[in-house]
A and B are shown apart, each in its own frame.
Chain A
């Protein structure tokens, strides 16, 4: 019988001690962020969605070889007059469904000072269909801007 009350006393005491800890935390400033209204600043090295610069790329294929999941494909441009390959891309495509966001392609890219393929700080990206994950950049027709990179297809929250 005595043990019974001892146990009740012990549990009750630890309950109050535990509540004291929560009571102290209760008065500390909140560390959560109300996401769509407030946003955290991403650090400099943040690996967000990839972007591609179709003018500086030399179509050297190093990023394709570096990628662990083979999600990059490209085709070098051909000079229409001489029918020879030139150091430019005709189109460049990244399959973001496979991408690991690992920065190996950016590290392999030899263009200086700004890498042709690089991570941005963009982390909000919604897609409704699988084919939207293929993002293609074409150099030949200047009107086609990257259609899905950016928040253009995102509904406002």
Chain B
């Protein structure tokens, strides 16, 4: 058998840019995201996220749904933090109708949203570990998340699509003994953070793979409209819970963690610290919880007056906003959602350039997107 030796000539050999498709079926893209990477060897010269595989047209669907029906659909945007979606929709409609929710309803909303923030960041913590190559944290994170979902199941009847926060209040008051179970969960949760730090945060391999990787400079973050933990990772202190409080957030005592360099590790660390702050908020909320009604008086058929509003909250992934136009009927005239994931994803094309292909997954994971919200 003859073998031919290929000789690569020095001067007239040509190298070509290579195009690599990451996704839409790649397990580490956390859903159906496709990123078109142009590479020069190992180094990325251009990255283009391609979205829309999960598009369900919910903004258009809203024009054919009544206001309470739209709550059911809002559950499907960011399915890891459906309570936040319910809340922002309820806030928008309440703002339009000028409904004042009783204090108990407000505090209940805060408890649910913050529990959901912990659950959502736990999914980030677990899946980010898997992305980097550590499987163990995933199992620990999902064990804790399961406890939160059990609490939600008791209170709303569902594990992911809660439909619990309603226009004018909440679906129903807390079931019996729920507060006790919630408190014991919080007590159980606190020592878990030490475990997480040992398993992942302080692991030198994990730190090597995330520190100084995917640096998002502060001016770039601001010009792209990045919000949430990604912005705070770039050491910019901005949190709607402090800067434009809703649902009595001004009554709570909590701090806003910020990173230093804006690299993957900072974004990761901010989320871990946020979980600890959320535990504090829930504890204060359980102490604060006043007696009384949790629902405001809402007409049976909701017909907001003509007008337009913008409502926004700090969802686990950033600033979630709803722009709502009403023509006085029982269905919205036009709805626009400002999804934090979609806007955070856009910066990927800037921060991936110049990185090695092995770091793409680490950077993509640290942005923490949910494709249900990106595509709506």
A residues adjacent to B (C-beta < 8 A): 7, 10-11, 14, 17-18, 20-22, 25, 31, 42-47, 66-68, 100-104, 119
Does B158 reach chain A (CB closer than 8 Å)? yes
Given A22-B136, A68-B65, A104-B72: A43 in contact with B198 (beta carbons within 8 A): no
Instruction: Determine whether the beta carbon of B158 is less than 8 Å from that of A47.
Output: yes
Instruction: Determine whether the beta carbon of A45 is less than 8 Å from that of B156.
Output: yes
Instruction: Determine whether the beta carbon of B172 is less than 8 Å from that of A45.
Output: yes
Residue of A7, A11, A100 contacting most chain B CB atoms (<10 Å) = A100
- A3 to chain B minimum Cβ distance, whole angstroms, is 12
Instruction: Determine whether the beta carbon of B153 is less than 8 Å from that of A46.
Output: yes
B171: A residues at CB distance < 8 A: 103
Interface string of B149-192 (1 = CB under 8 A from A): 00001111110010100000001100100000000000000000
B155: A residues at CB distance < 8 A: 45
Question: Bound state CA distance, A22 and B65, in angstroms?
Answer: 49
Assuming A25-B140, A45-B156, what are 4 further A-B pairs, CB within 8 angstroms?
A14-B204, A21-B198, A45-B154, A46-B153
Instruction: Determine whether the beta carbon of B161 is less than 8 Å from that of A102.
Output: yes
Does B73 reach chain A (CB closer than 8 Å)? yes
Given A18-B198, A21-B199: A102 in contact with B154 (beta carbons within 8 A): no
- A49 to chain B minimum Cβ distance, whole angstroms, is 13
Does B60 reach chain A (CB closer than 8 Å)? no
Instruction: Determine whether the beta carbon of B204 is less than 8 Å from that of A45.
Output: no
15 pairs from A and B in contact (CB 8 Å cutoff)? A11-B205, A22-B136, A31-B146, A43-B153, A43-B154, A43-B157, A45-B153, A45-B154, A46-B153, A46-B157, A47-B158, A68-B65, A100-B161, A102-B161, A119-B157
B154: A residues at CB distance < 8 A: 43-45
- B173 to chain A minimum Cβ distance, whole angstroms, is 11
Interface of B, secondary structure class, is helix
Given A101-B158, A103-B163: A45 in contact with B199 (beta carbons within 8 A): no
In the complex, which residue of chain B has the Cβ closest to the Cβ of A46? B157
Does B195 reach chain A (CB closer than 8 Å)? yes
Does B102 reach chain A (CB closer than 8 Å)? no
Question: Bound state CA distance, A103 and B143, in angstroms?
Answer: 28
A66: B residues at CB distance < 8 A: 68-69
Instruction: Determine whether the beta carbon of B203 is less than 8 Å from that of A18.
Output: yes
B residues adjacent to A (C-beta < 8 A): 65, 68-70, 72-73, 136, 140, 143, 146, 153-158, 161, 163, 171-172, 175, 195, 198-199, 202-205
A22: B residues at CB distance < 8 A: 136
Question: Bound state CA distance, A52 and B203, in angstroms?
Answer: 55
Instruction: Determine whether the beta carbon of B199 is less than 8 Å from that of A18.
Output: yes
Instruction: Determine whether the beta carbon of B72 is less than 8 Å from that of A68.
Output: yes
B158: A residues at CB distance < 8 A: 47, 101
In the complex, which residue of chain A has the Cβ closest to the Cβ of B202? A14
Question: Bound state CA distance, A149 and B161, in angstroms?
Answer: 23
In the complex, which residue of chain A has the Cβ closest to the Cβ of B134? A18
A11: B residues at CB distance < 8 A: 204-205
Question: Bound state CA distance, A66 and B166, in angstroms?
Answer: 14
Q: Which 4 residue pairs of A and B lie closest in terms of their CB atoms, listed nearest first?
A: A68-B69, A45-B157, A47-B157, A43-B154
Question: Bound state CA distance, A45 and B163, in angstroms?
Answer: 12
- B265 to chain A minimum Cβ distance, whole angstroms, is 15
Instruction: Determine whether the beta carbon of A45 is less than 8 Å from that of B198.
Output: no
B72: A residues at CB distance < 8 A: 68, 100, 102, 104
Residue of B72, B140, B202 contacting most chain A CB atoms (<10 Å) = B72
Question: Bound state CA distance, A25 and B141, in angstroms?
Answer: 13
Question: Bound state CA distance, A144 and B199, in angstroms?
Answer: 59
Question: Bound state CA distance, A101 and B318, in angstroms?
Answer: 28
In the complex, which residue of chain A has the Cβ closest to the Cβ of B146? A31
- A18, A42, A67, A68: the one within 8 Å of B136 (CB): A18
- B345 to chain A minimum Cβ distance, whole angstroms, is 27
A67: B residues at CB distance < 8 A: 69
